[in-house]
Structure 1
Amino acid sequence: GKQLQQADKQKIPFCIIIGSEEAAANMCSLKDLRTGEQMKVPIAGLAGVLKQRLVQ
């Protein structure tokens, strides 16, 4: 909602979303604000995924 719009206006490339379902599964949602793509990522692998996406 508003927080994602604000992040997009500030040119923040990614948002990490952890809701109750994600937390229970040790997952997070990673949203690429440049493309609109959203994916579920294991919390333990988040840093690696972000590194890969930032160099693209």
Structure 2
Amino acid sequence: MSQAPSPQARPSRSLFRTKSIEQTIADAAEPGRELKRSLTAWDLMILGVAVAVGAGIFSV
């Protein structure tokens, strides 16, 4: 009896692995699985710098 190859053996197959919509919704409904929304001062500062640099590239 042969075994199925592990995901490490065939990385191209794991690249296109998908989940059904029902499974995704069920996973999201589990308690403790939601993401916390938070932006720190560091995040906002970096976002501001990125916006300034991005706008500067198109104005030159």
Normalising by structure 1, we get a TM-score of: 0.23
Greater relative contact order (Cα 8 A, min sep 6): structure 1 or 2?
1
Structure with the bigger percentage of strand: 1
Structure possessing the higher radius of gyration over alpha carbons: 2
